[in-house]
Amino acid sequence: MRSIGVGELKALLDGGDEVTLVDVREPYEYAEGHLPGARLAPLATVPGLLDALPRDVPVYLVCAVGARSGRAAAWLSQQGVDAVNVEGGTAEWAGAGYPLVR
Q: How far apart are CA 79 and CA 75, in angstroms?
A: 7
Is the Cβ–Cβ distance between 87 and 66 less than 8 Å?
A: yes
Instruction: Respond yes or no: is residue 6 known to be catalytic.
Output: no
DSSP per-residue string spanning 43-75: GGGHHHHGGGS-SSS-EEEE-SSSHHHHHHHHH
Active-site choice (63, 72, 76, 81): 63
- Rg (Cα) of the chain, in Å, rounded? 12
Q: How far apart are CA 61 and CA 23, in angstroms?
A: 6
Q: Which residues are catalytic?
A: 63
